Each structure stands twice: as C-alpha cells, then as structure tokens.
Chain A
C-alpha cells in the first residue's frame, strides 16, 4: 500500500486562508520524514505530482456563508462533490475540483483523498488566524494523527 502525504493549501499571510500551512507546520515535527508534509500556495497543477498514487490528507480553508466559522467539512475527495470555493486562490489557475478533473484525465489521481475543509471568516492580508479556526485546526491535526496511527501502526 502506498504511503501518506499531507498537503496544506493556503496563503500564510491571508488570515484564515493560512490554516492549511498552520496544520502542516504543527504536523511536520510529529510525523516521520517518510510522510511528506507539503505546503501548497495555490498552484494546483503541482498537486498532480505530489498526490499521484498516494494516500492524501488535504487541509484548506473554505468560504461558506451557511457554515459557522471553524466548522469542519470532511469529504472524500474522490467520491463527493468539491465545493467551488475550496482551493480557489486564483481564477487564473485551477480550483481543487478542476485539479481533480485534470488529474483524472492525466491518470494522476491520488489513491485516496481525505479533505478537511475548515470554514474561515477573515481572509484579509495580514490578518491572523481566527480563534475558532485555530481550534478547528488542532482538531484536524488530532484526527490526522489518529488516522495515520491507525493505518500505519503508530507514527
């Protein structure tokens, strides 16, 4: 079975959008070097190489008016519909759904894709992480550690 890769998507300098890199920073020191922890600033095309035939946990911020700040959406990225506001950092590139469609066309899909979308409220430049989003990030961090422990017999 292939190994796990953790990907945190977001911009460190845009408030709640930094939640992906925030989780990556915290997990990096707690996971073995054989589990890549990759920060992605929004270049979705690079995901195709990073997740190809890997089992992936991907963390990103989500803008959703009908969800409370800090709410966590857990999705099976290969089976469920991807919210269009997930991973849309630039209209010049691809969003996550388009990246998955492209990966499908190019035989570059991950083996498994567990998405953790955390609902943010403030995405303005230089803003800090909202308290509720930070709590959610730590919850996601715990869940990922438990998941990897379950699948690998300890991390």
Chain B
C-alpha cells in the first residue's frame, strides 16, 4: 500500500514576496499542489479610486520595486488609450528605450542572483559569487547599465518619476544619450557571453505531452518585438485586440491564496513571460540575437521551462541591441509630451513586463478622477501553470530524496521568476459596519 507524503516549503527562497508550497502525493499519484501566496493584499486598485488620472503612473510604479517601469507603461498607455491620444514615433521610441532598461535590470538580477544558483548547485547568489565572482560581476555590470537607462529616462533607477500621461516631463539630451551608448556597448558584449554561458547549463528534461501543451500568450506586433503595443496572441490561435482582454481572461479566487488566479475563459491555464514572447515573436528579434541563438543551438521555439534562463539571456541581449538601435536612430520629439484634457472615458493597455502580460484598465470621470481600476499582474496569470507544472513533473522526481525533491520544486517555480508582491491583489472589500443604516 502506498504511503502519503508531502512536500511543504513554508517560505520560498529567492522569489519576490512571501509564498509557500504544499504538495501531497504518494507513490502513484500527485493528489494536491498548492502554490500559496499569503502576502497581505495591498488594495492598490482600491486606493487609486478618486485620484487624478495623471497620478496613476507614479502610484502604480510603487506596486513593485523590481518592475516599476512596467506598471508605469501599462498605466500611461491605458490612460492615453482612454483619451484617444496617439504618441509620436519619437516618444514611442523613448518609452521603448526605458522598457529595455527595466528588462535588463530585472532579467540580469534573476539570471545571476536568483536562478543560476539552482543550476550550479549553490543555495544563494552570494554563495555562488564566492566561486564564480566574474559571473556575478558580469551580471552586476549589466544591471548597472540597465539602471543607467532607467535613470536617464525615468529620473532615477528605482520608482522612476519622469513618465507622464502624454509623454515625459523631460527629454534626454543628445549628449546624455551618447554617454549612455558608451555604457551599453561593453555591456552588450557581456550579454552575448551570458547567452553562451546560459545555453551551456545542464537542464532537467521536462516536456509536456500534446494533451497538456502550454498555451503561450504574449503581445505580438508586426513591426517590433513586443513591449508596449500589439495584439494579444497565443499559440492556440488567440488573436485579439487588447480591448477584448476581459472577454477572454478571467480572475478567480482560490482558498489557499490571497492572490487571484487568472485563466483563459473556457480553456484554463496559460503561460505568459519571456518564453511566450520568444515563441510567438522570434522572427522580430534583431539579427544579432537570432545569430547568437543559432550559434548556441537554441531553437526558435522552446517549451522546457527550465530553459527560460536562456530565453531571458537572449532577451537581455535583445534589450541592449534594441537600446543601442534606438539611440543610434534617435530623433528628438518636437515636444516632451502631448497635452491631455480629462473627460469621462475608459481605457486599457497591456504591456510586456519582464515576467509577462501586465493589463491595466481604468475609468475616469469628467474631472479626471479615477472611478475604477483593474490591474492583472503576470504572476497571477502564471500561477495555474506553475501549479500544473509541479503536478506534471513530480512523477519524474518522486524517487528523489526529500531535500532534492524540494530543490527541484523550488527551481521549477523560479523558472517563472514569480513576483508575488505584484500578483497579490484581492477581491473587492465590503465593509459592513454593525448598526449602519441599510
């Protein structure tokens, strides 16, 4: 008779926020998998209500210290969508440059400090640094270059303040961009070396069967690798404008988590993030990135989530290459921003945060006050896929000793670089004071 066993990880290491993992299984079956998120809900959507529409980019940037640019980008684009404001190509290019900086910051931190220790057998990035100091130095140098981009475009590298509805408060000068270029050039060389190094790591074999195949979902645009615009597409044939998001994706509450789970209506789990972007948009990567991918033998479509570290390294290289392209072709906008006038309106936007789709929708009134806000972060969209991965891969790993099994499960979760702080928002709060008038 088989005996029930459990894997219980009270605090997941090296992920953002506070999460836990519970798995109950026996020799034959996995009975239960729960990725538990117990961070207190932050009610950002609630306290945005009543605030001026121009405050949304700065308020939402504070949801996350790791990807504030993503929140700013989704917020400003949603407001500009509501007010039917189309930015010039020059302003769009600067927004894109800023997003490159955030991808570099976030991905390099994850690659070198959070995920690489799993592949090299270290409990932490700090422990890894003792044996591989040059690797960690490389990661820090690239992150510093990403910081330089965000600092120039955003005013500072953490919680930037220079983005406004309609454009930017201040534009970079040609001299500042030229100096930035000098910082980015050597960092791009390190990014190429990082792809080569990441592709040579030893990866657990994990491929889903056709019945359980992932549905990868990402923005897709005919002219560019997706960051701030495009239609929402999937590997199962979804192809919709961003305005239809709520018709195809739904959030539900689960008992074991304070974060809502998002699912494809009528289908279930789906997969957002670097692998989804890569698989749906390989042809839009720059020639250099495609060349390096070919050189290391990495295919244009990858469905092994453990290889997400290679995809991230390719996206870091792309972000450096794209940032340099934007600087080399920079043409200063006529104005730093377009004026906006509030009116009753509703707008939405999806942008590609480092971890995947980030959806914002707002309603504003005639005075420009926000009357309704909805934010769906990438991690809440990936949660069901993470749990499904663990459920499906566990039979391969059940023979392992408890410590090794736990390490494999944690590594599988870190494949997604979950940002639990970001994912944690909550159902609407109803206060029902005793004695209040009906």
Contact = CB atoms under 8 A, between A and B. Distances in A.
B18 A43 contact: no
B158 A41 contact: yes
Given A90-B66, A125-B62, A43 B147 contact: yes
20 contacts: A41-B65, A41-B157, A41-B159, A43-B65, A43-B147, A45-B109, A45-B113, A46-B144, A46-B157, A48-B140, A89-B65, A91-B15, A91-B16, A92-B15, A92-B65, A92-B66, A101-B126, A102-B136, A106-B129, A107-B133
Interface string A102-115: 10011100000000
B325 interface: no
B226 interface: no
Interface of A: 11, 13, 41-43, 45-46, 48-49, 89-94, 98, 101-102, 105-107, 125
Interface in B136-171: 136-137, 140, 143-144, 147, 156-159
B31 to A, nearest CB: 29
Interface residues of B, number: 28
Given A41-B156, A102-B136, A125-B62, A92 B126 contact: no
Contacts of B113: 45, 94
A102 B129 contact: yes
B186 to A, nearest CB: 15
A13 B161 CA distance: 13
Contacts, number: 65
B325 to A, nearest CB: 26
B3 interface: no
A41 B114 CA distance: 20
Q: Which of A91, A94, A107 has the most CB of B within 10 A?
A: A91
Contacts of A48: 140
B125 interface: yes
The DSSP consensus for interface residues of chain A is loop
Q: Which 3 A-B pairs have the closest CB atoms?
A: A92-B16, A41-B158, A105-B129
B35 interface: no
B382 to A, nearest CB: 16
B15 A106 contact: no
B59 to A, nearest CB: 9
A91 B12 CA distance: 10
A46 B105 CA distance: 11
A49 B140 CA distance: 10
B65 A93 contact: yes
A43 B158 CA distance: 8
B412 interface: no
Contact of B157 (A43, A98, A102, A125): A43
A106 B131 CA distance: 10
A92 B129 contact: no
A106 B136 contact: yes
Contacts of A11: 159
A107 B16 CA distance: 27
Given A41-B158, A93-B66, 12 more contacts: A41-B159, A42-B158, A43-B147, A43-B157, A46-B157, A90-B421, A92-B17, A93-B109, A102-B125, A105-B136, A106-B137, A106-B140
A49 to B, nearest CB: 7
B140 A90 contact: no
B247 to A, nearest CB: 33
Contacts of B157: 41, 43, 46
B17 A45 contact: no
B82 interface: no
B400 to A, nearest CB: 26
Given A46-B144, A98-B126, A102-B126, A92 B109 contact: yes
A116 B124 CA distance: 27
A90 B129 contact: no
B267 interface: no
